[in-house]
Structures are given as C-alpha cells and as structure tokens.
Structure 1
Amino acid sequence: MLQAYAMVALGGAVGSALRLAVVRLAQSMVGSGFPAGTMAVNLIGSAVMGVLGAVMVTRGGNDPLRLFLMTGLLGGFTTFSAYSLDALALWDRGEGGLALLYVVGSVVLGLAGVVLGFYIGRQVMAS
C-alpha cells in the first residue's frame, strides 16, 4: 500500500514540474494575457491519458506503473483548479468572450484529445 502512495507522489512531483515548464514556456511565447500554458497542459494531458488508457485496457494495467503515470504524473501535470481560476480571471478582466472560448475550447479539445489518444493507443497496441 505504501508503494502505491510513493508512485503517485513521485509521478505527481514530476508532472507538476513539467506543468510549470510548459506554463512558463507558453507565457514566454504568447504572453500572460491568455492562459495558454494551462490550456496546453490540459490538452496534452488529455491526449496522453487517452493513449495510456488504451494501452492499459489492452495490456492490462501494471498497477504501480499506472499509478505513477496516470494518477501521479498526469494528475500533477494537468490541473482543473488552475483552469477554473484562469477562466475566472479572464471573466473578471471583462473578457467574457475570451473566457467562454477558453472554457469551451478546453473542454471540447480536451475530450477530442482523449478520444484521439485512446484511438492512437489502440492502434499502436493492435500492431
């Protein structure tokens, strides 16, 4: 049982550090007026979650690896709370249209990412 918590904690630490790197990179590229970094990590994380979901379903999940990658790493990398705060910040700045674009775009593209990732993962596992 302790091993499971250790795998999640280690994965979460790695995922959180990766999230910070992506957010800072996005801010350096597009500025801080739009939360592109948070949107990027959530979209990338959704696609990767789809791939891993397909692989784990097809091969049968190695529990410590699944906990490290899916619960820990992707749990630390993606963030719904930051997404919610970023949407509120856009709204509070009077940028309701941009806030709506961000919310709807993140949800729709995130779902598309997990579907695409799952499809890719199944194709890879079928080969």
Structure 2
Amino acid sequence: MNWLLVACGGAIGASLRYGAGLIISKPHSLFPWTTWSINILGCFLAGIFFAFTQRYPVLQNETRLFFMVGILGGFTTFSSFGLETFQLIRQGQLPLALAYTVSSVVIGVIFLAIGFYLFQMILSSK
C-alpha cells in the first residue's frame, strides 16, 4: 500500500512540476527561474506540512508518504533536502546541517559532471 501512495503522489507531483514549468518558464533568462521557483515553493509546502505533522502526529505516516515523498518528491526533491537540513538545525546540529548542505550541492554538481563527461567519453568511443 505504501508504494501505491508514493507512486500516486509522485505522478501528481511530476504533473504539477511540468505544468508549473509551462507557466513559470522564462526562455530568455540565464537564471533557471523555473527550477528555482519550484524548489522554493516545494520547501515552503514542506514547511507547512512539517508544521501540521508536529501538531497532528497522525499525518506522519501514510499522509507523509503520499504528500512529502510522493507529491513533493515528484514536484521537487529539494523540498526533502530543505526539510532534512531544517530538522538538523532544530536539533542543534548546525555543523552537520552545513556539511550536509555544502556537500550535497558541491558533490552533487561534481557527480553530475562526472556522469556527463564519462557518458560522453563512452558515446564518443563507439
């Protein structure tokens, strides 16, 4: 059942992301406004949902899977990253939160580049 909740939510989130991209798109801008806007909105919605789960713990199970993992996960994984960072800060783990933030961004971009160039080399050798 949990897989179905995540899958249905993911389909909704991905569809919402696609639709938002069509609405927000700024084709002549160098700054990636669409992704930025979606990530910021996703973080805002994750914050609202997190506040609700603190007040109503019953929302921490199936509803969390459907909304946070499914819908917001399909909309943006940045919302999960933002929530996890915020939780570390709330727990007084500021150095760990900073390490998580910086390493996620820097290592993520490095691995994206490695994957890109590695796959380019494989394709060009054929």
TM-score (norm 1): 0.56
Offset at residue 66 of structure 1 (A)? 1.2
1:97 corresponding residue in structure 2: none
1:78 corresponding residue in structure 2: 76
Greater than 4 Å deviation, 4+ residue runs: none
1:31 corresponding residue in structure 2: 27
Offset at residue 72 of structure 1 (A)? 0.5
Q: Which has the larger radius of gyration?
A: 2
Identify which of structures 1 and 2 has the higher relative contact order when contacts are C-alpha pairs closer than 8 Å and 6+ apart: 1
Q: Which amino acid aligns with 1:5?
A: W
Query: Which of 62, 65, 69 is residue 64 of structure 1 equivalent to?
Result: 62
Unmatched runs of 5 consecutive residues or more in structure 2: 87-126
CA contact (8 A) 1:4 1:64 kept: yes
2:45 corresponding residue in structure 1: 48
Q: Identity across aligned pairs (percent)? A: 36
Cα-to-partner distance string for 1:6-54 (whole Å, 9 max, x where unaligned): 0001001100010011111111xx3253321111110000000000001
Unmatched runs of 5 consecutive residues or more in structure 1: 81-106, 115-127
TM-score (norm 2): 0.57
Offset at residue 69 of structure 1 (A)? 0.3
